[in-house]
Chain A
Amino acid sequence: MSAGSSCSQTPSRAIPTRRVALGDGVQLPPGDYSTTPGGTLFSTTPGGTRIIYDRKFLMECRNSPVAKTPPKDLPTIPGVTSPTSDEPPMQASQSHLHSSPEDKRAGGEESQFEMDI
């Protein structure tokens, strides 16, 4: 009886709150915390952040001056990395593939333009 009485007499109080009026022009936090520049929504995984690019960003990098020049060690493969007006005979193509290292040693970058195929 006394226990019950004690319980029923416990006073209750409202949770304290404070109201703050925001003035005009107050800047709210930006809404894109979960993205990274050029990345996607899910760019963070346990153990660290992975380097993520979406298609749009990758396409934009295509126009970078750095990406314009051909790689200095691009191998010469007719019909693949260098133009060929006619499809060369199979034997010639095979022979060229075989001799590609020699072309590199002989003429380096210029050889791909001097090729007769």
Chain B
Amino acid sequence: MSLKDDDSGDHDQNEENSTQKDGEKEKTDRDKSQSGGKRKAVVPGPAEHPLQYNYTFWYSRRTPGRPTSSQSYEQNIKQIGTFASVEQFWKFYSHMVRPGDLTGHSDFHLFKEGIKPMWEDDANKNGGKWIIRLRKGLASRCWENLILAMLGEQFMVGEEICGAVVSVRFQEDIISIWNKTASDQATTARIRDTLRRVLNLPPNTIMEYKTHTDSIKAWEEFHGLVNSSGR
């Protein structure tokens, strides 16, 4: 049940892969129109503390009953904003609801600017993610600790970190952190050790590492089953 929910969320992300080039162009045009003209760079203000990298908040929500497709993924993921400083982060974060108060089947994504929160992005395709499943009630605190550690460069793995996701589901919540190189065991081990330190998790919490390649295979198998059953 829980695994299915998690995969269900991942399916949406994977669908983006099948978008045509025209779709990509359309998305780009939409982004431009949303920003009301030329998209200017996001930079720290004069009295602000700059971050090592710019980051973008995204929100996605799955509508129950609708079939997964590239179009529905496009419609269901929404960019909230990009920030370049500590103060700009708090501006966005303070005006967003906490993960624990989200309803339905929702995700927050926080990724470095320029990286899309999907498996196939160039920065993600050779990578993977640490996954932590939480009982209900812990997501807001753990998510806050995770993103503060990521923005503050506490993981000490250079440019390896791509982003983080909190997924709100019916029976449990899931937080994950994505890195670029799944085969780099020294880096993934260091990320795991830092996660344990900064998240202050319950003692018996299980952490698992999943490569995006495995996620794609699981999605393709699931999709095949759906097709063969004639849904």
CB–CB A54/B97 < 8 A: no
Q: How far is the CB of B203 from chain A (nearest CB, A)?
A: 21
CB–CB A61/B87 < 8 A: yes
A58's contact among B59, B86, B88, by CB below 8 Å, is which? B86
Per DSSP, chain B at the interface is mixed
A77's contact among B52, B78, B88, B158, by CB below 8 Å, is which? B78
Residue in B closest to A75 when the chains form the complex, CB atoms: B80
CB–CB B103/A52 < 8 A: no
Residues of A close to B27: CB separation below 8 A: none
CB–CB A79/B145 < 8 A: no
With known contacts A55-B148, A71-B92, A77-B80, A66–B48 Cβ distance under 8 A:
yes
Most buried by B among A58, A69, A97, A105: A58
A67's contact among B63, B64, B87, B154, by CB below 8 Å, is which? B87
Instruction: Give the residues from 21 to 75 in chain A that come closer than 8 angstroms, CB to CB, to chain B.
Output: 38, 40, 42, 45, 50-55, 57-59, 61-62, 64, 66-71, 73-75
User: Which of B5-13, B15-23, B30-38, B125-133 binds A?
Assistant: B30-38
CB–CB A71/B81 < 8 A: yes
Q: How large is the interface on B (under 10, 10 to 19, 20 to 34, 35 or more residues)?
A: 35 or more
Q: How far is the CB of A47 from chain B (nearest CB, A)?
A: 9
Q: How far is the CB of B56 from chain A (nearest CB, A)?
A: 12
CB–CB B52/A50 < 8 A: yes
CA distance A81 to B5 in the complex (A): 24
CB–CB B156/A71 < 8 A: no
- A98: interface (CB < 8 Å): yes
Residues of B close to A79: CB separation below 8 A: 97, 102-103
Q: How large is the interface on A (under 10, 10 to 19, 20 to 34, 35 or more residues)?
A: 35 or more
Per DSSP, chain A at the interface is loop
Instruction: Give the residues from 48 to 84 in chain B that come closer than 8 angstroms, CB to CB, to chain A.
Output: 48-52, 59, 63-64, 75-76, 78-81, 83
Residues of A close to B153: CB separation below 8 A: 50-53
With known contacts A51-B51, A54-B154, A104–B36 Cβ distance under 8 A:
yes
- B135: interface (CB < 8 Å): no
Instruction: Give the residues from 67 to 101 in chain A that come closer than 8 angstroms, CB to CB, to chain B.
Output: 67-71, 73-75, 77, 79-81, 87, 90, 94, 97-98, 100-101
